[in-house]
Amino acid sequence: MKSDNNNEVLIKAENVSKKFCRSLKRSLWYGVKDVAHSLNPWVMPEAEEIDSNTSLPALRTDEFWAIQNISFEVRRGECLGLIGHNGAGKSTLLKILNSLNRPDSGRVTMRGRVGALIELGAGFNPILTGRENIYNQATLLGFSKQEIDAKFDEIVEFSELKDFLDMPLQNYSSGMKVKLGFAVSSQLEPDILIVDEVLAVGDVGFRFKCLNKMAELMNKCAVIFVSHSMPQIFRVCNHVMLLDKGQCVFNSDEVGLGIEKYFSHFRNDAQAVVGSGEARIKYLELQCGQQTSALGEVLHVNYGEDIKIAVVVGADKKIRKARLQFVVWSMELLPVLDIMNEDLTGVEFELNENGEVKIETEIKGINLSAGKYMISAVVNSLDNRKTYCRHDSVASLNVHSESSSGAHVLLSPTWSISEQ
């Protein structure tokens, strides 16, 4: 029976760490030594060595920490977004939370029934039918047959698999398995719902359906959601934790700031400029009032202010028909604005060999909501068949506004009200 306390902590991790070994042979030998040591602490005492820097068991040859000293709480009514690049430790942490792995140190406390979708087809028997797997999976989650019977029709309706219930699961597609798994995990209203990035396999319509269901469940349970889709994280989560190399580098209810740090990691690692190199951006300046910023810098601007952009493009050879385009991106990497000329084709110009062209434009009344944005610049051929230079982060905008709207573009139309 669910508690009425909406602030109760349902998931608590305290200094959780997990190590693995890169060598199979060493891993098997270490396993034997650890079992022997657990049976008799006087056997192989080196298993008790402690690293003075981390206060954790010392790593042996080929061992590494998959996650290290992870601590957090998730209360009923909260959704924690777990983000980080591949190999950051997200899946390892989820497996520990779902009791599939044991931590090497630290403690995890889970209160209530857990519904988890962390691996494609996890918990399902490929030989059984979809119908049989619903009962089998729900039973493993701790539900009685009477409870499953009462929810069966809702599970089937949500999964959209009514016509395939009596087909063996081994004949299901990846998307069908995700639908069945999420339907069972969510429709039985668990106290804790854990969802890994398997939702990326499903079709777009079902993904939206799952996100809406997760938002609905947040009032009743604690949710941990792992995804590489930052728009999904921003939409669903009210708390975010960023993992990097097995360590927590950000843990806050400022979801937007966490997403910004996530993308900063990739921007620092990625090559920012691509293209043939026949033309390139040699200089850029953004201006708002008396404030200016150069190539790669941040310009602070208030909603409604004007922005001037000056850019110098150079070329190694003559280019007769070149085009310059700017695109403003949100931190979730969604295109927000295209900056073009009057006929919406971009600024067209000609470049002489070893020559330069200066291009200036002005954006009247920036209408973006508060937040940080990136500006990309592309110099390509007029027919768009060749990219000479694409700079993914030529500059950044930090827009200040009193609006807290979730939309990126804010319009200020003229309104009239008349009595009819």
Would you call 188 exposed, middle or buried from its count of C-beta atoms within 10 A (0-12, 13-18, 19+)? buried
Report the topology of domain 273-400. Answer: Coagulation Factor XIII; Chain A, domain 1 (2.70.50)
List every span in the chain annotated with CATH 2.70.50.60.
Answer: 273-400
State pTM to two decimals.
0.70
* Residue 56 pLDDT exceeds 70: no
Task: Tell me the per-residue pLDDT of 66-103, one tens digit each, with 9 for 90 and over.
Answer: 999 999 999 999 999 999 988 899 989 999 998 888 99
Residues of the chain with CATH 3.40.50.300: 73-267
**Mean pLDDT over all residues of the chain?**
84
User: Which of 36-50, 51-65, 110-124, 372-386 has the weakest average pLDDT?
Assistant: 36-50
Per-residue pLDDT at 232 exceeds 70? yes
Which among 188, 113, 112 is positioned nearest to 146, based on CA atoms? 188
Residues 191/194/200/203 CA torsion (nearest 10 deg) = -20
Q: What angle do CA 131, 136, 142 make, to 5 degrees?
A: 130
Tell me the pLDDT band of 47, cut-offs 50, 70 and 90.
Answer: very low
Task: Give whichever of 89-98, 201-210, 368-377 has the largest mean pLDDT.
Answer: 89-98
259 pLDDT above the threshold of 50 = yes
Confidence of residue 272 (pLDDT cuts 50, 70, 90): low
Nearest to 124 by CA among 191, 199, 183, 208: 183
Which pLDDT belongs to residue 2?
46
CATH class of the domain whose range is 73-267? alpha beta
- Mean pLDDT of all residues in 183-202: 80
Residues 130-152, buried b or exposed e (16+ Cβ, 10 A)? Answer: bebbbbebbeebebeeeebeebb
pLDDT (0 to 100) of residue 3: 47
Residues 6+ apart with CB under 8 A from 304: 365, 366, 367, 412
What pLDDT was estimated at residue 202? Answer: 64
Tell me what pLDDT residue 270 has.
Answer: 45
Predicted confidence band of residue 203 (pLDDT cuts 50, 70, 90): confident
Torsion of CA 116, 211, 337, 314, to 10 degrees: 20
286 pLDDT exceeds 50?
yes
| pLDDT tens track for 139-181 | 887 788 999 999 999 999 999 999 999 999 999 998 898 889 8
pLDDT of residue 51 exceeding 60, the answer is no
Are β-strands 239-244 and 79-83 bridged in parallel, bridged antiparallel, or unpaired? Answer: parallel
C-alpha distance from residue 346 to each of 190, 282, 334, 339, 361 (Å): 52, 19, 20, 8, 11
9-32 average pLDDT score: 91
Question: Minimum mean pLDDT among 8-12, 42-46, 150-154, 307-311: which range?
Answer: 42-46
